[in-house]
Amino acid sequence: EVQLLESGGGLVQPGGSLRLSCAASGFTFSSYAMSWLRQAPGKGLEWVSTISGSGDNTFFADSVKGRFTISRDNSKNTLYLQMSSLRAEDTAVYYCAKNQVNIWGSPHDYWGQGTLVTVSS
Amino acid sequence: QPVLTQSSSASASLGSSVKLTCTLSSGHSRYIIAWHQQQPGKAPRFLMNLEGGGSYSKGSGVPDRFSGSSSGADRSLTISNLQFEDEADYYCETWDINTQVFGGGTKLTVL
């Protein structure tokens, strides 16, 4: 059974930093691209970033480019999102999700339960 | 990049059928999409991939009541024999070079 478990969310001040983690199990982690997506309170889903199975290729939404970094440790089956220069508009539930292919070009077929990030003074 | 358009809300009676539609923007009518369900207070759940020709492949454990169809730029999700647990937000998703795109979501109410 595929399981994705996010952690690391919390309250952070504007301009601050936070690192999210996602522990994966139930599939060959290194064979699939992985993504972070988010959902602001009462709003729809928004893609944030994707990393290829090897970690060699990364992709970012324009809204986070230059502020967020995505990485993975395939030896630990763990995905990360390093967020810096956080803004109020980054407040959202952040979801880790599995892609259906190794590099790029597919929807997501498994989602974690989400972790809430609140950016506020 | 593609834009996905969904109606903001839909409603149907318990035990009936409902068809939710996601429309691809001009020039993107051949794109594959996915449907996701998000029940209140829960994480999204993948339902199916849906191709332009109407072929679809469902995720693990998705009931037979859920099916997909396509017509031109429209990608539709049909839910038969509606249950109260089907009351949820439904999102479509697709991708292009360097971006993933979601529709605005349809809130389904089961009466």
Report mean pLDDT in 10-residue bins for chain B, 111 residues. Answer: 96 97 95 97 98 94 97 97 98 94 98 94
**Residues of A with CB below 8 A from B32's CB?**
107
Per-residue pLDDT band at A105 (split at 50, 70, 90): confident
Interface of B with A (CB under 8 A): 32-34, 36, 38, 43-46, 49, 59, 89, 91, 93-95, 98-105
State residue B52's pLDDT score. Answer: 93
State residue A103's pLDDT score. Answer: 84
Percent of chain A having pLDDT more than 90? 95
Degrees to nearest 5, angle at CA B44 with B21 and B62: 70
State residue A104's pLDDT score. Answer: 84
Task: For residue A41, give Cα distances in angstroms to A89, A105, B6, B64, B96.
Answer: 10, 28, 19, 32, 26
Segment A39-70, tens digit of pLDDT: 999 999 999 999 999 999 999 999 999 999 99
State residue A84's pLDDT score. Answer: 98
**Residues of B with CB below 8 A from A105's CB?**
95
pLDDT higher than threshold 90 for residue A102: no
Q: How far is B16 from chain A (nearest CA, A)?
A: 26
Across the strands, what pairs with A80? A21, A71
Residue of chain A with shortest Cα separation from B60: A109
State residue A16's pLDDT score. Answer: 98
Task: State whether residue A35 is helix, strand or coil.
Answer: strand
Using the beta-carbon criterion (under 8 Å), do A45 and B36 form an inter-chain contact? Answer: yes
Contact B80, B68 (CB under 8 A): no
Please give the Cα distance from B97 to B16 (Å, whole number): 39
- Work out the average pLDDT over A89-100: 97
